Amino acid sequence: MRASPRKWGTYKPECFHGIHPMNTTRQELSEPMTPAKSAASADATPRQAAPIRPRKAPRSMRNMLSLEDFEEAARRVLPRPIFGYISGGVETDASLRGNRSAFAEYNFIPRVLVSTRGRSQRTTLFGRTYDLPFGFAPMGGTALAAYLGDTVLARAAAELNIPMIQSGASLTRLEHLKEVGPTAWFQAYLPGAPEIIVPLVERAQRGGFDTLVLTVDVPVAANRENNVRNGYSSPLKPSPRLAWDCMVRPRWLFGTFGRTVMKQGMPHLENMGFERIPVLSGNVERPRLSRDGLCWEHLELMRRIWKGKLVVKGVLAKEDVRVARESGADGVIVSNHGGRQLDGAVAPLRVLPGIVAEAGNMAIMMDSGIRRGTDVLKALALGAHFVFVGRPFLYAATIAGDDGVHHAVKLLREEIDRDMAMLGISSPSAMPREFLVPSSGPLS
Ligand SMILES: Cc1cc2nc3c(=O)[nH]c(=O)nc-3n(C[C@H](O)[C@H](O)[C@H](O)COP(=O)(O)O)c2cc1C
């Protein structure tokens, strides 16, 4: 089932849909409305989601009041090279900063005296109803930062009925991950080489995945000077400096890395389409399979063999969205990789409106810089059907595993819920474009 384009400019306060009969009571006017169907799948049958199980946040989460709070806490747990790899951007960090500042370019004009008592965040995407309008973005090396990091995120996502995208650069075999996380999608990093593309796509299919994401904004490795400065490489190279950086983070050294090596053995890159590569090695070099030859014909090849939903991640140009649609993609993730690839790449939020106009029936998803409930709702108002969040959930898994991830999701869920009530909407998919105005300049 394909997405249908969001209709803009049609907002009516939900108590005032149509003309009410003369004898309609105030009580009836205030009854919760059925949440509007997601634009991403107008023909999908929403399922009645089980209420999200409340969990008591552990003590360590007491001071975690927003997604941004997790970064500083993770910095204190992780060795310098690993924290730098996760938190960093590229070159001048212009895109990293731009992703956040783009959200400040918009303000809300909320509506009042609208009953929103039946608020629900259920959102339908690719024919499946998720309980929340956001999921976990793919992140390589997750199990290096957090103990069983991929598994923790996949399991939490399944419990919360939201999608988690397993990275192609992950350290957990995709077959195992799909078993513990039935809502997981798989993201592939692929070179322009059919002899690697076909076996990996077939493997993901055999592994039981129904949604495959091809990341396209990494044709070459990014110039992450921060990695060089902090001593990060893939694989990590043993050195006195690395040993020191790890020793001054004993909680990570024993509780994450040591525990992983003792129980599971040395973590390896498992899902790249080439032989397994350990995360720590003095002599093994990662094969640099050039991705600069990857092009639309390879996406078309994937379309021919992949039976599930096919998503292209890392597009910013509306022309590419049109070609993705014509090549058979079911959706795109508008992303600049969290500001980690091309420095100066535009913030995804800023190009969303133009992209929606080219998307046809495709699902439009977005990531990069989302930290607040208001950010989620701004992205949805500008035409996204769904969003993904990266770093904060990895930090949450690093600090407190399952409990940390559940707590982080709860924070974002509660922010969205509160924001919806104050905006006067009952469903994220009912977030209208006209609630947003530029944060500067004259208003008409
Ligand atoms: C540590 C880390 C590893 C990442 N690895 C991948 C990856 O393997 N594949 C991919 O498509 N994107 C990867 N990304 C990018 C994320 O999927 C996502 O686009 C980005 O993190 C979103 O921005 P945010 O962190 O500001 O939410 C990675 C991001 C981080 C922070």
Measured in angstroms, how far is the CA atom of residue 288 from the centroid of ligand 1? 19
Each residue's pLDDT tens digit, 302-354: 999 999 999 999 999 999 999 999 999 999 999 999 999 999 999 999 999 99
Q: 338 CB less than 6 Å from ligand 1? A: yes
Q: Which residues make Cβ contacts (< 8 Å) with residue 259, sequence separation at least 6?
A: 147
Q: 215 CB less than 6 Å from ligand 1? A: yes
Question: What residues form DSSP beta bridges with 353?
Answer: none
Question: What residues form DSSP beta bridges with 437?
Answer: 107
What confidence score (pLDDT) does residue 12 get?
A: 53
Measuring from atom 1 of ligand 1, which residue has the nearest CA?
Answer: 86
What confidence score (pLDDT) does residue 37 get?
A: 34
Burial class (CB in 10 A: 0-12, 13-18, 19+), 132: buried
Average pLDDT over residues 225-238: 94
Whether the pLDDT of residue 232 is over 80: the answer is yes
Measuring from atom 28 of ligand 1, which residue has the nearest CA?
Answer: 139
60-225+287-438: in CATH 3.20.20.70: yes
Of residues 441 and 6, more confidence is placed in 441
Residue from 68, 86, 139 whose mutation best tests the ligand 1 pocket (most atoms within 8 A of CB): 139
What confidence score (pLDDT) does residue 3 get?
A: 42
Say if CB 334 and CB 353 are below 8 A apart.
no
Average pLDDT over residues 422-428: 98
Measuring from atom 21 of ligand 1, which residue has the nearest CA?
Answer: 390
In the chain, domain spans? 60-225+287-438
Average pLDDT over residues 400-429: 97
Q: 139 CB less than 6 Å from ligand 1? A: yes
Residue from 167, 174, 279, 341 whose mutation best tests the ligand 1 pocket (most atoms within 8 A of CB): 167
Whether the pLDDT of residue 2 is over 70: the answer is no
pLDDT, averaged across the chain: 89
Q: 370 CB less than 6 Å from ligand 1? A: yes
Whether the pLDDT of residue 48 is over 50: the answer is no
Average pLDDT over residues 54-73: 90
Q: 79 CB less than 6 Å from ligand 1? A: no
Q: At what angle do helices 80-87 and 69-77 cross, to 10 degrees?
A: 150
Q: Which atom of ligand 1 is nearest to the CA of 137?
A: 17
Q: Are strands 309-315 and 106-108 parallel, antiparallel or unpaired?
A: unpaired
Measuring from atom 5 of ligand 1, which residue has the nearest CA?
Answer: 139
Average pLDDT over residues 139-165: 98
Each residue's pLDDT tens digit, 366-382: 999 999 999 999 999 99
Whether the pLDDT of residue 100 is over 60: the answer is yes
CA dihedral 342, 343, 347, 350 (to 10 degrees): -90
Q: 366 CB less than 6 Å from ligand 1? A: no
Share of the chain above pLDDT 70, in %: 87
Measured in angstroms, how far is the CA atom of residue 245 from the centroid of ligand 1? 23
DSSP state of 253: I
Between CA 127 and CA 136 the distance in angstroms is 19
Q: 342 CB less than 6 Å from ligand 1? A: no
Burial class (CB in 10 A: 0-12, 13-18, 19+), 104: exposed
Q: Band the pLDDT of 47: cuts 50, 70, 90.
A: very low
Whether the pLDDT of residue 55 is over 90: the answer is no
Q: 167 CB less than 6 Å from ligand 1? A: yes
Q: Which atom of ligand 1 is nearest to the CA of 87?
A: 31
Q: Band the pLDDT of 5: cuts 50, 70, 90.
A: very low
337 is catalytic: yes
Q: Band the pLDDT of 53: cuts 50, 70, 90.
A: low
Measured in angstroms, how far is the CA atom of residue 161 from the centroid of ligand 1? 21
Q: Band the pLDDT of 392: cuts 50, 70, 90.
A: very high
Question: What residues form DSSP beta bridges with 130?
Answer: 123
Of residues 373 and 50, more confidence is placed in 373
What confidence score (pLDDT) does residue 11 get?
A: 54
Measured in angstroms, how far is the CA atom of residue 434 from the centroid of ligand 1? 31
Q: 389 CB less than 6 Å from ligand 1? A: yes
Residue tagged active-site, from 337, 385, 406, 407: 337
Each residue's pLDDT tens digit, 102-133: 999 999 999 999 999 999 999 999 999 999 99
